[in-house]
Every structure is written in structure tokens, then in C-alpha cells.
Amino acid sequence: MLRGFIINKFRGEEKFLEEGVKWLENRTGMKYLGFVPYLEESPIMPEDSMNVREVGFGERKVSVISYPYMSNFNEFYAFLKSNATVRFVTRPSQLEGSDLVILPGTRNTYQSLVWLKERGFVETLRKYPLLGVCGGFQIMGKKLIDPYGLEAGEPREYQGLGLLSINVRFEVDKVVSLSEGKGEVEIKGYEIRRGRIEYVNDKPLYVIHKRNGNHVNVEDGAMREEKLGTSIHGSLYSGFRKLLEDLGIKIWVKSMEEEIADMASKATEAFRKGVDIDTIQEIYKS
């Protein structure tokens, strides 16, 4: 049985709630237990891509391509503490003035690539500094080889954007790991991918030397002029932020773990200030 209610995302002073709260208590028979304030800088990341919003408040402009299969977009909340503002875009015209464009991870590399081509992004992307992450990195390659039809639905090869001189081969076994790499940059994050990087003319940016605590030796990452790619999510919290400084983009985040803990702390503090926790505990015990 419902015993109480909380007002969520409330703006203003609590006294303005009094009349409405009394009406709700009389109408529902439930007790008012407080409110959670609307937070301009939300400490909680959205659960899905339908709820993504502008991130950050800086003067530099970062545009993330929001294709329908976008995934792992929460990593771009690193820009909350930066000199940049991130927008999620769906049209080439929205890229104008971007200091950096990001091709994020994707649940389906083939479909995302088709979407980019149909939307007319191909030539426009050549004009901007570009970072591809996981599936976005794969899309930037020359050729994508899908012998088992894992991405395209049938075995085939298809042309990528050709912005980096790599090929990608999709394997049945998916890599899922906490990963660390060393080379031109030191990087730490996580991998979720079936695509394996095959180098044509470009050289690896680093070597993944650890997966889930086990030692490995896997070449990864690539950079050509202002085009940059990595298979490791969470790279903005580690070595890649140094590379972005060359583009004038500065990120002042801590580690991913510390950022998440900080966000949770802010949400907890807001809840404690506005909600009658003692009464909730009494209701729970009764």
C-alpha cells in the first residue's frame, strides 16, 4: 500500500508547495515526505540515448553524432568539467563551428555507417578534428569485413569512411574487459566489441597490455593528422585528454570511478536535504 509521496525535480522554495501538498494529501490519503530539487548540473547520467542532453558549459564546441544505434554515450559526461560544451547532433549542418566531432560507440557498426552516408555526413566529417570510439573508430576505417554477418545480417565486406588506414574484421567472440594500454599515450577504460583492428598503413597508437588483470599484447588506436580513434571506452578520463589539448580542449575530470562517486554523493546530498528520511524509516518499520 502506498503511504507517502515525494515531489521530484522541484524548482523554487518549498513554501510554494504547501497548498498543492495539502490538496494531494487530502485527495490521496498519503503523507508528503519531501522533495528532490531540480539540479541544473544533474549528477545522474541518463539511462538511454533518448534522454541525452547538452553537456558542459565551456566555450569550445564538441559535437557527438547521435546515430540511432549510439551506445556508451555516458563517457562524454567527462566534458562536464572542461572548457567545452557537448551537443548531440543528427544533421551535418549542426557540425558548423565544431572544435571536435565524436563518433561514439554503436550497437551496430554497419547500420550506423549506412545512416551516416544516407544523412550526408561523409564529406562533412573530413573537415573537422574527429575522435572515433569503439564502433566509431571502426567506422573511420577503410574496409569492414563481416564474414559471419554479425553486423550486416549477412556475410559481406563494406567500405568505411576511409579516414584512417585500418581494416576491421568482426569475430564471433566478443571482447568484454577492463583494459589498459601503453604507447604514445597511457590509457585505461573498458572494451565491448567484436571488431578486431587490422593495420594497413597507419600505426597503432598504443598496445593493450592488460585485460581484466591478465597480460595481453593487442595493438590498438590510430591517429592521422586530426583524426583519432580508440577501441577503449572511457579514454577521456585517461591519456586521450592530453591529445585533445592540442585542439584547445581541456578536460579536468578525475578518474571515471571518482567522477561516478562524486555524482552519487551530490545526488545523495540533495535527497537528504529535501526528503524526510526519518518519517520514511518509521513508515517502513510500521
> N- to C-terminal Cα distance for the chain?
12
**What is the secondary structure of 103-121 as a DSSP string?**
E-EES-HHHHHHHHHHHT-
Is 233 annotated as catalytic? yes
Which one is catalytic: 102, 113, 134, 222? 134
Contact 117, 159 (CB under 8 A): no
Is 215 annotated as catalytic? no
CA atoms within 13 A on the CB side of 178: 5
**Distance, CA of 121 to CA of 286 (rounded, Å):** 60
Q: Which of 237, 261, 138 is nearest to 187 (CA)?
A: 237
Which one is catalytic: 130, 233, 241, 256? 233
Contact 161, 122 (CB under 8 A): yes
Instruction: Provide the annotated active-site residues.
Output: 134, 233
